[in-house]
Structure 1
Amino acid sequence: MTNSEKDKTVLVTGGSGFIAVHCILKLLKEGYSVKTTLRSLNRQDEVKQMLKVGGISTFENLSFIQADLSSDKNWNEAVKGCEFVLHVASPTPAIQFTHEDELINPAKDGVVRVLKASRDANVKRVVLTSAFGAVGMGHKNRKTPYTEEDWTNIDSNIHAYQKSKTIAEQTAWEFIKNEGGNLELSAVNPVGVMGPLLGTDYSHSHQMIKQMLEGDIKACPKISSCYIDVRDVADLHLLAMTDPKANGERFLATTGNVLSMLDVAKILKNKLGNEADKVPTKELPNWVLKASALKKPSLKMLVTLLGQYMQASGEKAKKTLNWSPRSNEEAILATAESLLKLGLIKK
């Protein structure tokens, strides 16, 4: 990076989130000034503590601003003076909802809010954190790996959360095409995000590892996924932010290797010794998960993933941006080891 780039300011939205805090960590280590939004400024110390765990000792290049994706307030101030925006925040999905629009509208409105403010402040490029959920859901009889050319079929029987991620990203590309002016956009679409926690804010994928280690999952649902380390997701955000070839492109963040939940359990069993005593060794019949989901709404999204083809290719990011991710095994073990180290596993 040139010295002139080190003077640039980057806004990271939703700075307390798992991916966001790793992006902030990477940016600060590379010499950027960082602004980050929080829904409540009460979480500033929490973010700083996570960054300390990640190796940051000084915070003169970091500032906080209160902003919420559901309100226009402070977004113009947040993007002011920024060369780039990493739009990582997304509205917290409601597990209990009466209509899918409760998830879709906040996601869609939030992305437009950030893009409008960025355009008006002459930001050079926004990198949107989208998801594999916007790429590979609702396709039947799929036999070839998903790529960035694919979009989730929102007319099929998919969970509203996946639909909200898809519509939010499509809304972003429409905005750039019709109203974006000189604003550039790239999107990063991570698969299941693993890797080291810096604090207590963890992703869906971490929840699975936590439940396995605690013995809450007695048998593994027959669900497969590709995985990626959060440090590699952060790396890809920075490459998508600065590389001219990334403008107008979306990039799947994946190693390209698919694992079943039982494969994940085996990695933990093989590498963690006694710490993995409670990790399951069998698969769960599909009917058991479906019956459980009738009583427990939080399992409904899992049911939609049963038997789904989930292979996704990371070749575009590797070839276009020279991105080189860690292995699935390294990412999964880093997750487990950080959960243990931070004392987040109930014994």
Structure 2
Amino acid sequence: MTAKENTVFVSGATGFIALHVVNDLLKAGYKVIGSGRSQEKNDGLLKKFNNHPNLSMEIVKDIAAPGAFDEIFQKHGKQIKVVLHTASPFHFDTTDFEKDLLIPAVNGTKSILEAIKKYAADTVEKVVVTSSVASLAAPANMGKNNETLTEKSWNTDTWESCQVNAVAAYCGSKKFAEQAAWDFLKENKSAVKFTLSTVNPGYVFGPQMFADSLKNGVNTSSSIVAQLVHSKAGEQFFNYSGAFIDVRDVSKAHLAAFEKPECAGERLVLSEDLFCSQDIVDILNEEFSQLKGKIAVGEPGSGPGFLEKTSCKLDNSKTKKLLGFKFYNFKDCIVDTASQMLEVQNEA
């Protein structure tokens, strides 16, 4: 598969991860068609990439609407070889979990696969769905220190049981959307020719593709870093914990997922290590003299002990072997994330 002859469709192209993916695809020489929710968002993205000749954008107002992607595949289906489905709702600002999280995630995934089946069954060869570590375990199990998650693990929550709060519902939405994709392929094996892979990242940190994106707020994972960068001395903070990965590695993994034949049919679990908020605070206080004494300190050095007690283990050695590249370490990832935030803040 040489990049020059291949067109890649990226749904939700204006998102935090997707912007890095679009950049990596263009650098590798692919033609890219992206989707965004409005003309304004699409124009903004094209401008950021200096109206790159290999990049075009289409509007999908609502990924949960029936036939949301039909028009795009009707129009471009015959040239699209690869589909990267990154669009999915990620926020906790809702009490109607079914309407705002579960249904859009599942329907968005189904409607893009249905559109491929209808209009591009012979052309699309690879589909990569952006899933999450959330589809490996329910929040309650993420906190069990005697549990080890692998590429074979599945979140045990049901459609009903995940609706206890927004976090559980989000985790459920990732599980059910991913399962919908695997089920679709099983049921339509004879009607489509594509292979499927999923990319399952933990908390995604790292710099924004374009620093000025920070002026519109940050993605949900990065807001953990932003809150700590803007914390006050002596302040208490919530000690988030879980698997982490750098956005630049997530992007690289999306390309590897369709470029490497051995990644077909695999769930690629992206985690460099486990982290907690205390680890972030320790790095901020050590590495940024302008923050020292002005931001929260918590209990320096207590992160590893906290994780030992409150977090499950994660073994993604299979994924690391399949991908074959080294992930960013936590310190470099957090330093790059915070440096960009501080730079933008100083310009404001």
Query: What is the TM-score when the length of structure 1 is the normalising length?
Result: 0.83
Deviation per CA, 1:157-208: give whole Å up to 9, x if none: 6611111111111111111111243221100001110111122363222111
CA contact (8 A) 1:213 1:277 kept: no
Moved more, 232-241 or 4-13: 4-13
What is the one-letter code of the residue matched to 1:322?
Answer: G
- Partner secondary structure for residue 65 of structure 1: strand
Cα distance change on mapping 1:249 and 1:345 into 2, 3 Å = farther
Indicate how the Cα distance of structure 1 residues 244 and 338 shifts in structure 2: closer, same or farther if over 3 A, else same: same
Residue of 325, 328, 343 corresponding to 1:326: 328
- The 8 Å contact of residues 15 and 36 in structure 1, kept in 2 or not, is answered as yes
**Secondary structure of 1:258 counterpart:** strand
1:340 Cα deviation from its structure 2 partner: 1.7
Q: Give the whole-Å Cα distance in 2 for the aligned partners of 1:225 and 1:261.
A: 10
| Partner of residue 54, structure 1 | none
* 2:79 corresponds to: 81
Q: Does 1:59 align with 2:62?
A: no
Q: Does 1:91 align with 2:89?
A: yes
Instruction: Deviation per CA, 1:119-177: give whole Å up to 9, x if none.
Output: 33031111000011111324274425311110111146661111111111111111111
The answer to whether 1:161 aligns with 2:170 is yes
Give the Cα–Cα distance (whole angstroms) in 1 for the partners of residues 228 and 42 of structure 2.
31
State the distance in 1 between where 2:109 and 2:222 align. Answer: 25
Deviation track 1:93-141 (CA, whole Å, cap 9, x = no partner) reads 4612234354211111100011122233031111000011111324274
Q: Which runs of 5+ in 1 are unaligned?
A: 52-56, 284-304
2:24 to 19, 23, 26: 26
Residue equivalent to 2:251: 234
2:166 maps to 1:149: no
Q: Which amino acid in the other structure matches residue 213 of structure 1? A: V
CA distance 1:129–1:278, shift in 2 (3 Å) = farther
Q: State the partner residue of 1:129.
A: 130
What amino acid maps onto 1:165 in structure 2?
A: K
CA apart distance, 1:15 = 1.1
- Determine if contact 1:15/1:21 at 8 Å carries over to the other structure: yes
State the aligned residue count.
316
Does the 8 Å CA contact 1:108/1:171 hold for their aligned counterparts?
yes
Partners of 1:108 and 1:21 in 2: CA distance: 22
CA-atom RMSD in angstroms:
2.4
Q: Give the match for residue 193 of structure 2.
A: 182
Whether contact under 8 Å (1:21, 1:50) holds in the other structure is no
Supply the distance in 1 between the matched residues of 2:271 and 2:188 (Cα, whole angstroms).
31
CA pair 262-43 structure 1, distance change in 2 beyond 3 A: same
Q: How does 1:292-311 map to 2 (within 5 A)?
A: 308-311=310-313
1:12 matched residue in structure 2: 10
Shift of 1:209: 1.1
The structural deviation recorded for 1:42 is 0.7
For 2:321 and 2:11, the matched residues in 1 are separated by 28
* Secondary structure class of the residue paired with 1:219: coil
Taking the aligned partners of 2:48 and 2:332, their CA distance within structure 1 comes to: 21
Q: Is 1:70 matched up with 2:75?
A: no
Q: Hey, what's the Cα distance between the residues in 2 that align with 1:75 and 1:344?
A: 41
Q: Which whole-Å CA distance do the structure 1 matches of 2:289 and 2:231 have between them?
A: 15
1:271: Cα distance to partner? 0.6
CA distance in 1, matches of 2:315, 2:219: 22
Question: Equivalent residue of 2:244, what SS?
Answer: strand
Higher alpha-carbon deviation: 76-85 or 244-253: 76-85
CA contact (8 A) 1:129 1:189 kept: yes
* Matched letter for residue 9 of structure 2: L
One-letter amino acid of the counterpart of residue 186, structure 1:
S
Q: Does 1:220 align with 2:237?
A: yes
Question: Which of 243, 265, 268 pairs up with 2:260?
Answer: 243
Task: Calculate percent identity across the aligned residue pairs.
Answer: 30
TM-score (norm 2): 0.83
1:56-109 per-position Cα deviation (integer Å, ceiling 9, x unaligned): x56000000011312324242354411101101113546122343542111111
